[in-house]
């Protein structure tokens, strides 16, 4: 999280944190384990009242940011989500709302209102099953047929597919990208529930079998949505990174406290140099994660040319070193660290989930290598 927040941002972060503490403390998260949706409608509405879903939406649609950089403000919420392992489709709902707001049009306008009030949620159908599960090789087919579009293909994992009023589906029309806003219950669309490492985030396999919709459901230009998709991907990764840093912060803070409280051989764990040095490493990874996550978010918000290298660096670093950090927190807790009753796994779960979504560390390192190769062959 940013080192220096404005007063508005600090107040916003704090009210978010309070609301999360009130609505979704750890025991509530545990009780939601078998809930089909993973959160209560009232919780989401209250968050939306605070502005959780309006930061990336233009003022003409009733949205607005605190600082002029909505994505930066949103990562404050994401950070708090991480610190509380909070439920709800924060990243995807916001990313869809942003695209709808940018695209405008009657189709979008109708949906945005409900997203802003939290009455409904939206999701993004991006990733696909193997072997089309890389960031750039999806193949769901979107065909134009008269004044209709026809969708064929499979998306997974789709977050909050059950419960979303609308699904923004990215697919191919020939070589180009198209995006279609599919309403829940569309004929030919089926959802199958998936299992996940997270306690409260829900995922489905969504199959599109000749799903026919009026062409008014196309968001942006047919065959020309590549930039839209790239923007969504950048935003979703920025939000996930901020959330993951929040999980690292929570696990780290808990474990530092534990190290002071817990004694062995008559002295606190925090007095053993072997453990102190591991805490020093963890602190270094944690600060580095904050730093690169914030820098990536700002670069995306400002549309800087180095946004992609910052984002992939953030996603790869936070993925790898965040796992090391949280797993070491488990280690330093000893036996209690691997129990369901202890809170540590809530953060481990959320971090692990985010690590695996929208490109693993390995995939982002490949992307970074692409950037190096491009630059080096240009010089």
Partner 1 sequence: MSNVEQEDVETFRQRARSFIRNNLQPISSDALVFPLRNVRNDDEELTAVAREREVQRMLFDAGLAGICFPRKYGGQELTPAHQRALNEEFDGYEYPSRLQAPTLSPCAAVLLDFGSEEQKLRHIPAILNGEEIWMQFLSEPSGGSDVAGAQMSAIRDGDEWVLNGSKIWTTGAWWSDWGLCLTRTNWDVPKHRGLSVFILPIHQPGLEVHRIEMLNGSKEFCQEFLTDVRVPDSDRIGGVDDGWTVGTRWMFHERMLTNSPLVTMPTGAGRTSVGATFVHAVAQEAGRASEPHIRDYIGETLMLDIVERELQRRIGDGLATGTMADQAAAVGRLFSGVAATRIRTIAFEIAGGAGAAWTDDDGELAFSGSDFLMRQVSCIGGGTTEMARNVISERVLGMPRERTLDKDIPYRDVPRSASSRT
Q: List residues binding partner 1 (CB under 8 A).
A: 3-4, 256, 259-260, 267-268, 270-271, 273, 276-277, 279-281, 283-284, 287-288, 290-292, 294-295, 305-306, 309-310, 312-314, 316-317, 362, 364-376
Q: Give whichever of 222 and 286 is closer to partner 1, judged by the CB atom.
A: 286
Q: Which is nearer to partner 1, 18 or 283 (CB)?
A: 283
**313 with 296: CB under 8 angstroms?**
yes
Nearer to partner 1, 139 or 369 (CB): 369
Beta carbon nearer to partner 1, 133 or 221:
133
* Shortest separation between residue 34's beta carbon and partner 1, angstroms: 38
Per-residue CA distances from 289 to 184, 314, 321, 336, 356 (Å): 37, 7, 8, 27, 17
Judged by CB, which is closer to partner 1: 209, or 281?
281
- Nearest CA-CA partner of 322 in 302, 292, 363, 342: 292
CA nearest to 250, candidates 364, 326, 311: 326
Say how far apart CA 265 and CA 59 lie, in whole Å: 61
* In the complex, minimum distance from the CB of residue 312 to partner 1, in angstroms, rounded to a whole number: 7
**Minimum Å distance from CB 227 to partner 1?**
20
Helices (H) and strands (E) in the chain, counts: 11, 9
Q: In angstroms, what is the minimal distance from the CB of 31 to partner 1?
A: 34
**Between 156 and 367, CB nearer to partner 1:** 367
- Exposed e or buried b per residue across 180-212, where buried means at least 16 C-beta atoms within 10 angstroms of its C-beta: bbbebebeebebeeeebebbbbbbbbbbbeebe
- Quick count: other Cβ atoms within 10 Å of Cβ 370? 13
What is the nearest approach in angstroms of partner 1 to the Cβ of residue 363? 9
Q: Which residues make beta-bridge pairs with 149? A: 144, 213
Enclosing H/E stretch for 163: none
To partner 1, the closest distance from the beta carbon of 236 in angstroms equals: 19
Residue 76's CB is within 10 A of a number of other CB atoms, namely 25
């Amino acid at each position: 999280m940013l080192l220096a927040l404005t007063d508005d941002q600090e107040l916003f972060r704090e009210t978010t944190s309070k609301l999360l503490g009130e609505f979704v403390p750890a025991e509530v998260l545990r009780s939601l384990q078998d809930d089909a949706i993973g959160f209560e409608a009232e919780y989401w509405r209250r968050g939306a009242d605070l502005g959780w879903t309006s930061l990336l939406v233009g003022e003409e649609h009733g949205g607005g940011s605190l600082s002029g950089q909505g994505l930066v403000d949103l990562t404050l919420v994401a950070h708090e989500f991480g610190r509380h392992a909070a439920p709800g489709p924060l990243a995807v709902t916001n990313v869809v709302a942003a695209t709808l707001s940018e695209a405008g049009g009657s189709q979008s306008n109708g949906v945005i209102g409900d997203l802003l009030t939290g009455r409904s949620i939206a999701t993004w159908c991006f990733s696909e099953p193997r072997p089309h599960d890389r960031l750039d090789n999806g193949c769901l087919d979107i065909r134009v047929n008269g004044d209709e579009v026809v969708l064929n293909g499979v998306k997974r994992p789709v977050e909050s597919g059950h419960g979303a009023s609308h699904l923004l589906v990215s697919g191919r029309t020939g070589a180009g990208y198209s995006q279609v806003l599919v309403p829940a219950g569309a004929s030919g669309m089926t959802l199958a529930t998936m299992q996940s490492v997270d306690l409260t985030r829900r995922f489905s396999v969504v199959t599109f079998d000749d799903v026919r919709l009026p062409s008014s459901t196309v968001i942006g230009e047919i065959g020309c949505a590549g930039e839209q998709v790239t923007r969504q991907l950048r935003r979703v990764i920025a939000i996930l990174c901020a959330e993951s840093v929040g999980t690292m912060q929570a696990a780290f803070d808990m474990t530092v406290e534990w190290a002071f409280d817990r004694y062995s051989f008559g002295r606190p764990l925090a007095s053993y140099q072997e453990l102190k040095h591991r805490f020093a490493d963890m602190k270094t990874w944690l600060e580095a994660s904050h730093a690169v996550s914030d820098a990536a978010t700002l670069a995306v918000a400002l549309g800087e040319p180095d946004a992609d290298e910052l984002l992939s660096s953030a996603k790869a670093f936070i993925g790898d070193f965040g796992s090391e950090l949280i797993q070491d927190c488990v280690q330093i807790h000893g036996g209690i660290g691997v129990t369901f009753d202890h809170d540590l796994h809530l953060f481990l779960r959320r971090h692990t989930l985010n690590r695996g979504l929208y490109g693993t560390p390995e995939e982002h390192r490949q992307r970074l290598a692409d950037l190096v190769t491009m630059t080096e062959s240009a010089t």
